[in-house]
Amino acid sequence: MSFENQTVSVHYARAVADAAISRGYSVETLMRSAAINENLLESDDIRITPEQLAYLMRAAWQLEDDEFLGMAGVTSRHGVFTLMAKQAVHCKNLRGVYRHLCRFYNLCTTAFELSFSFDERLARMSMKLSQPEYDKHHMLIDFLLLLWHRFPAWLVGNRIPLNGVYFDFPKPAHSAEYRLLFPCPAHYDRESSYFTFSSELLTLPVVQTPETLKTHLRRAPLDWFKRQNFYPTYTRKILDTLTSDDGFENWQFEEIAESMAMTTRTLRRKLTEERTSFQEIKNIARRDTAIHLLSQKNLPIASIAHQLGYSDAPSFSRAFKEWTGVTPKSYKR
């Protein structure tokens, strides 16, 4: 078992569906492509797998021939990002990648304006939508900022720790997702949307090749969604421990503290500082792993309950309904 199977809010699937409907496309076809039941879109508590969101976006790109998914007021034909990426892989370093990215999109679209700047301490990648009223769920801004962060990081083969991410809109209802999307504090009501990181990283060389890029693009956008495992230090360590094997019930808080060479009191204080608790972390791990396992066709619910450390299927069902608003049986159906 791996916590790589982090889940994402159904908010993003709903945003893709709403944009498709507003342009006259059938949402049924899109949902079928991603194995998402349309009824799930009605609940804010539902979460889906990264695979489902990736399949949904890929289907929308192909159906609508618009990489902006109808959320920008103007379209960008499917394949434009690939063209940019095939040029970016030949850049010398991270600074060159960001400069190329901005030049490319500022030349080929009026959907938004990109700008990149840096000083001795911080680098800043900014964007401003020309017609933000089309991005009513903030899906496009979220996705593009994610893309401007994750793809350059892949090109240089290094994580890019962010100092902060900033949005030009008020704090949205789905703001809890940002701790998964961006490994840094989030801020709102700014003049534009942007993120900052250390200028020291700008000299990192591009290590990918045209051949590795082909594989990366064939998987897109899945890899960008699956790398959502950005949690504070001790939360991350506990999640890794809980999901390192198939037995959630095998780990107790005392044992985890001992494995991290600290007392339970110290670890509990660290978690309080990170605004969480052991039970909350355990529930997150169980919930997201349950959603991943329920997407496997031939895995019985009773087996999933046992794998997650529940004594019986009804106990698991009650917990799952509390997390998502639906029963495991309904979700699997």
Kindly state whether residues 97 and 221 are assigned to the same domain. yes
CB-based contacts of 60-67 (< 8 A; 24+ apart in sequence): 60/16, 60/19, 60/20, 60/30, 63/20, 63/25, 63/29, 63/30, 64/20, 64/23, 64/25
pLDDT of residue 183: 78
Kindly state whether residues 119 and 134 are assigned to the same domain. yes
Kindly state whether residues 259 and 170 are assigned to the same domain. no
Number of compact structural domains in the chain: 2
Q: Is residue 50 part of a domain?
A: no
pLDDT at 169 over 80: yes
In 3-state terms, the chain is what percent helix, strand and coil (to 5)? Answer: 55, 10, 35
Kindly state whether residues 77 and 181 are assigned to the same domain. yes
pLDDT of residue 247: 55
Kindly state whether residues 218 and 94 are assigned to the same domain. yes
The answer to whether the CB of 234 falls within 8 A of the CB of 267 is: yes
Name which of 55, 61, 69, 66 is nearest 15 in CA terms. 69
pLDDT in tens, 256-295: 899 889 999 999 998 988 778 888 888 878 887 887 788 7
Among 226, 241, 262, the domain boundary falls at 226
Residue 306, CA distances (Å) to 188, 281, 293, 317 in order: 42, 19, 12, 12
Name which of 232, 237, 283 is nearest 261 in CA terms. 237
Kindly state whether residues 200 and 269 are assigned to the same domain. no
Rounded mean pLDDT, 167-189: 92
Among 172, 198, 226, the domain boundary falls at 226
CA-to-CA distance for 285 and 321, rounded, in angstroms?
15
CA-to-CA distance for 289 and 282, rounded, in angstroms?
11
Q: Is residue 243 part of a domain?
A: yes
pLDDT at 97 over 80: yes
Kindly state whether residues 201 and 322 are assigned to the same domain. no
Kindly state whether residues 211 and 275 are assigned to the same domain. no
Domain that holds residue 277: 233-332
Q: Is residue 19 part of a domain?
A: no
The answer to whether the CB of 47 falls within 8 A of the CB of 8 is: yes
Q: Is residue 2 part of a domain?
A: no
Rounded mean pLDDT, 294-321: 84
Q: Is residue 187 part of a domain?
A: yes
Q: Is residue 172 part of a domain?
A: yes
Kindly state whether residues 259 and 112 are assigned to the same domain. no
pLDDT at 102 over 90: yes
Q: Is residue 180 part of a domain?
A: yes
Q: What CATH number did the domain enclosing 239 receive?
A: 1.10.10.60
Kindly state whether residues 112 and 212 are assigned to the same domain. yes
Q: Work out whether strand 186-187 and strand 162-166 pair parallel, antiparallel, or are unpaired.
A: parallel
Kindly state whether residues 186 and 317 are assigned to the same domain. no
pLDDT of residue 4: 43
Rounded mean pLDDT, 99-120: 98
Kindly state whether residues 83 and 183 are assigned to the same domain. yes
229 pLDDT tier (thresholds 50, 70, 90): very low
CA-to-CA distance for 69 and 75, rounded, in angstroms?
8
Q: Is residue 54 part of a domain?
A: no
Among 185, 205, 226, the domain boundary falls at 226
Residue 186, CA distances (Å) to 60, 121, 125, 257, 259 in order: 28, 19, 15, 29, 32
Which token pair is 21?
């409907």
pLDDT in tens, 35-93: 787 877 887 778 888 888 998 999 999 999 999 999 999 999 999 999 999 999 999 99
pLDDT in tens, 238-253: 877 777 655 566 678 8
